[in-house]
Amino acid sequence: MSATRVPQVRAGYSPGPVRLWRTGAALAAVLLPAAACATITGGAGEPEDITVLVDPADAAEAAVDEWTGAAGDFEDHPHRPEGVELSVAHPAFAGAAERFSTDLAAQVDRDVQDFRGASRDPVSLDIDWEVVAAGDDVLGVRLIRTETDLHGTRQAYGTYWYDARSGLTRYATELVRDQTALEELNGLVAADLADDPAVGGEVLYPVLATYDSMGFNSDGDLVVEFDDGHLSPPREGHPPDPEPGRITAVLESEEVAPLLSDLGERARTASLAEEPDLDMPEPSVEDEERPDVPGEITAGNGVDCAAEDAKCIALTFDDGPAETTPHLLDTLAEEDVPATFFLNGNPALTSPNVVRRAYAEGHEVANHNDLHEHLPEYEADRLTAEMAVVSAIVRRNTGYTVDLFRPPFGASSPEVLAEIGDQGMAEVLWSSDSEDWKEIDRDEIVEQVLKQAEPGGVVLLHDTLPATLAAVPEIVERLREDGYEFATVSETLVDPEIGESYPDGENVPEIDG
């Protein structure tokens, strides 16, 4: 194995005009015509390079169409900052692989939406592409994002795989067998990068967004690549530093072979094709159910809170992640208690490693708005923008799409609730207020929680407060003695519906903290 690092912007790389294919109104985007078929193969490359069989410069010769688009092709996003330049693209395959193009379009759409939402003062986003595998009923496409905002310019990467046998588009993590194999891979990568000074401790977690770009080099080794800054050590009050650039771990083929799925084995063969075959057959298995995706974590312990005798309760923590959150996560792990974390924008932006850890350890992550302010006072445009931030940050760092929102102070309104629903979330308030925000001591917090506890209850706490962390072990012990089972909010409320308010929005008082 070998770990390598290249400068933030690849030598000799200059993204072309940004292009995209989308359905519906966006079909006005430009389709570049393909020329006659030709054999296109990449050079041997360096060990840290994923194979490139076709890129935009070779698209016409290889008979690969390209769809392109700009800012006007994404008018349906909830948050559209003014003046942001978008130039995005992906290949458009013909025949049976056309469905792959549709899925790539959806991925690009998410990338644009999340860039708009998560970036501070966004300036521009370019997305370019490469075909990295073609053959053995597999197509592989690598998307390269170059984005500029208040914090500078950085690049990010994603590889996506079309399995013609099932007709499914697969994530990079599906190159390995299952979650256990991804965890083993995570251990190999962690060992490989252990001595790299550009890699922070406690930043690698086996989740979808960390392992969203993997492919094979010309020797058949597995190349795992990480976005600029994804593995950088945390910096208090600042996003992780993108300056180290693209970091890779190259894992020898013999070492990773036992971890590969059937798709992974075929993708490796397709990456080494001397004559790439872009002509995919029709699926041999119709309507195949999507298998579990390694790196997609199901929050909670699987408690059935809908059962007649269930006595579930959800611990929720607002305003983080904070310096104290890792200690809380240690406690929750020791007690085997899942919780729900309602995150604010700046803490999530500057401590993404903690967000990834909470998600990886089976906790539910949710949105508590960008800035901790009274939402009913916001104008409509600002309300939309403020709600979009945390959801975008979480998805970019975990791969998970947030579906719960808690307004700061519990301050809501019909307009706030409508916007929450428009952004695909349910509003979650609380049935039990610990009053820890009043800066009461540990014992008072414990008693406040216990006297208000009820089956199906949602407890309001704050992981930013040392007294709260000190109270958690006793809260857990005494509620368990009382027969309660701990669950996430979604488990406790039994799948809250988008656009609805829980537990009872009319009877939850606003708080000052």
Query: Whose CA is closest to 505, among 406, 437, 423, 402?
Result: 406
Query: Whose CA is closest to 226, among 236, 207, 237?
Result: 207
The DSSP call for residue 220 is S
Residue 70, classified by CB atoms within 10 Å of its CB into exposed (0-12), middle (13-18) or buried (19+), is middle
Catalytic residue list contains 318: yes
For 240, the token pair is 């992780």
CB 366 within 8 A of CB 402: yes
Report the C-alpha gap between 210 and 432 in whole angstroms. 35
Report the C-alpha gap between 21 and 65 in whole angstroms. 10
| From 149, 212, 227, 318, the catalytic residue | 318
Report the C-alpha gap between 204 and 217 in whole angstroms. 22
Q: Which helix (H) or strand (E) holds 316?
A: strand 312-320
Amino acid at 80: R
Report the C-alpha gap between 367 and 7 in whole angstroms. 34
Report the C-alpha gap between 112 and 104 in whole angstroms. 12
Distance between terminal CA atoms of the chain?
50
Amino acid at 111: D
SS3 486: strand
The count of residues in the chain is: 513
In sequence order, which residues have a C-beta less than 8 Å from that of residue 25 and are 6 or more positions away?
73, 75
DSSP strands (E only) in 272-326: 312-320
CB 153 within 8 A of CB 245: no
For 447, the token pair is 């008693």
SS3 128: strand
Cα distances from 323 to residues 2, 201, 348, 354, in angstroms, run 33, 15, 12, 9
Cα distances from 154 to residues 92, 119, 126, 328, 475, in angstroms, run 26, 12, 11, 32, 44
Query: How many C-beta atoms surround the C-beta of residue 251 within 10 A?
Result: 21
| From 49, 149, 462, 463, the catalytic residue | 462
The C-alpha angle 267, 272, 278, rounded to 5 degrees, equals 70
For 140, the token pair is 């592989």
Catalytic positions are 318, 462
